[in-house]
Copies of this chain bind each other. A is one copy, B any other.
Amino acid sequence: MTTTNLSHSRSVPTRRRFLGHLGALGGSSLVMTALSSWDLMAGPAGTRPVLSGRPRNAKVLILGAGISGLALGYELSRLGYDFHVLEARDRVGGLVWTVHGGTTHTEIGGEHQQCTWDEGLWLNAGAWRIPYTHTGVLNYCKELGVPLEIFVNEADASYFYREGADAGSLANTRVRLGEVKADIVGQVNELLVKAIDQHSLDLPLTAEDQERLVGFLVAQGYLDRKDRRYRAFADRGPGDPYQLSALLKAGFGDRLRSISPRDGITTAPMFHPVGGMEQIPKAFARAIGPSRITFNAEVHSVRQDDHAATVAYRDTKTGRTRTLTADYVVVCLPLSIVAGLDCQLSAEMMAAVRATTYSNSAKAGLGMKRRFWEEDDQIFGGHLYSNLPIGEFSYPSTGYFSRKGVLLGFYLHSGPAVTLMDRPIGERVEHVLTHSSKVHPQMRREFESAYCVWWRKVEYSRGGFANAAPLARRAQLSKFENRLLIGSAATAPHSEPDWQEGAIAAAWQALTSLHEHAMRS
Q: A residues touching B (Cβ–Cβ < 8 Å)?
A: 14-17, 19, 34-36, 38-39, 41, 132-133, 138-139, 141-142, 145, 147-150, 152, 155-156, 178, 181-182, 184-186, 188, 191-192, 194-195, 198, 200-203, 205-206, 209, 212-213, 215-217, 219-222, 233-239, 244-245, 248-249, 253-254, 256-263, 268-269, 271, 376-378, 380-381, 397, 399-403
Contacts and interface: CB of A to CB of B under 8 A. Distances in A.
A238 B156 contact: no
Contacts of A16: 233-234
B220 A235 contact: no
Nearest to A251: B212
A380 B15 contact: no
Contacts of A216: 184, 248, 253-254, 256
Given A191-B203, A200-B201, A259 B182 contact: yes
Contact of A258 (B185, B206, B213): B185
Contact of A220 (B206, B213, B253): B253
Contacts of A378: 38, 41, 132-133
B234 A271 contact: no
A245 B206 contact: yes
30 contacts: A15-B234, A19-B238, A34-B238, A35-B239, A36-B239, A39-B376, A132-B378, A133-B378, A141-B401, A142-B401, A147-B399, A149-B400, A156-B259, A181-B259, A184-B216, A186-B258, A191-B203, A195-B195, A195-B200, A206-B245, A209-B244, A212-B253, A213-B244, A216-B254, A220-B253, A220-B256, A220-B258, A222-B257, A235-B259, A237-B262
Contact of A254 (B194, B213, B219, B258): B219
Contacts of A271: 400-401
